[in-house]
Amino acid sequence: MTQHADLEAIRRDCQQLVRKRALVSAGAAVVPVPLLDLVVDARILMVLLPEISQRFGLDPEGIDRLDAEHQRAAWRVIRQRGSQLIGIVLTRQLVRQAFMGFAGRLVARQIAKFIPLGGQLVAAGLGYFVMRKMAYRHIDDCFAVAREVAAR
């Protein structure tokens, strides 16, 4: 039970970290420079997602430290969840693929930036929402994998 409580604490800490970084994303969305917010978001994700994986012990080094049975279990659960972002070194290509899942919202955010006053608020809201949603999905994947590995 203690391990589950520890994982819950890690999950809450990661969610708090994501909310802070999502505010940075929202701030970048307000600046009316085309694609600046996407560059900022990509940079945030390139740092944030590996940090989340590391906190759950699911970065490449963390998985390598597990015994053979737990390593197999970790990789099996990662494959079952279909996550491409756990346990690997994050690349620009993987971040680009993650963005593609949110393409409609990202386009709407780019358009909304150039509508006077209210548009920038909409862009900021979408920036916050998209960043938080992408990172929370990663947290949920990491939590599920870590819980499954801990149960073995």
Q: Which residue has the higher pLDDT, 113 or 149?
A: 149
The structural domains of the chain, with segments of one domain joined by +, span 2-151
pLDDT score at 18: 97
| Predicted local distance difference test score (pLDDT) of residue 84 | 58
Query: Position 110: which residue type?
Result: Q
Residue 149 has pLDDT above 50, yes or no: yes
Select the more confidently predicted residue: 52 or 127.
Answer: 52
Q: What pLDDT shows up at residue 1?
A: 39
How much is the average pLDDT of 117-128? 77
d(Cα 123, Cα 35) in Å, to the nearest integer?
12
Let me know: does 29 contact 113? Beta carbons within 8 Å: yes
Q: Which residue has the higher pLDDT, 134 or 21?
A: 21
Quote the DSSP letter at residue 89.
Answer: -
Average pLDDT over residues 84-101: 59
Length of the chain: 152
The H-or-E segment that residue 31 falls in is none
67 half-sphere exposure, CB direction, 13 A CA radius: 3
